Amino acid sequence: LAVWIAALLLIAGCRSIQLVSDYDEATDRGAAELQRKMSDFFSRLQTFPRGAEELRFDRSREFYRQAAVDLNALRVRAGGIRMNLLTLEQLELLEENLAQVVLTHKGCIEGLSALTPEQAEARQQAIRQQGVDLTMDCRVSHGAVADLPDRGDQVISPGFVANAWRQFDQGLGAVMAFELAKRRGENARQR
């Protein structure tokens, strides 16, 4: 403990230390706004019966495009703030989840269970590297199980929607909870 105290005094040399970025209101608001849009989108999908025309991918593509733009904007902003790597990583994980929803909606995951662990890992890598694939096609290079054209008529299942909605709520909630904790940390620093 004595060593710890001495080291602390030596390295401090200033009034306080900071280990995490300051609170960012734009990130907090952006995450809250995206969470609201996601809830609106998923709740609307849940009002339609299984197989309905409204559940087709081409009907939802514009929403996915906007959500991908919003997430990318949040990620770019988070990347420009010092000591903000944890938030940046959170947003990257949410982007991966959006890419998974889009692939599922296009019916690009059929046969996933038959992939070897190596193939499954390669698929995850493709999603990480390529992000959300907003084309109408399934592309292995973007995380699809097979290359398939013209997937606009594919429909999403209400069961899948129910759990995906829950996951975005929790993931975006984690971004907001961390921002609020940063605000409390910032207030403590100023005292």
Partner 1 sequence: MALNVNELMGPMLEAVTGVFGKRWPKMRDYAEGETRKLAESLAQIAQLRVSQEISEDEARVLLEMQKNTARAVLLAVEGMGLLLAEQAINAALAAVRGTVNGALRFPLL
Min dist. Cβ of residue 104 to partner 1 (A): 5
DSSP string, 115-136: S-HHHHHHHHHHHHHH----SS
What's the CA gap between 186 and 190, in Å, rounded? 6
Name the segment binding partner 1 (CB under 8 A); options: 40-48, 55-63, 129-137, 158-166.
158-166
Min dist. Cβ of residue 168 to partner 1 (A): 8
Does residue 113 touch partner 1 according to CB under 8 A? yes
- Residue nearer to partner 1 on the CB measure, 59 or 78: 78
What's the CA gap between 64 and 145, in Å, rounded? 20
Amino acid at site 104: T
Nearest by Cα to 28 from 97, 98, 84: 84
Does residue 163 touch partner 1 according to CB under 8 A? yes
Min dist. Cβ of residue 106 to partner 1 (A): 12
Q: Which residues of 13-37 are buried (b: 16+ CB within 10 A; e: fewer)?
A: eeeeeeeebbbbeebbebbeebbee
Contact residues for partner 1 (CB under 8 A)? 1-2, 5-6, 8-9, 12-20, 86-87, 89-90, 93-94, 96-97, 100-101, 103-104, 109-113, 124, 157-160, 162-164, 166-167, 170-171, 174-175, 177-178, 181-182, 184-185, 188-189
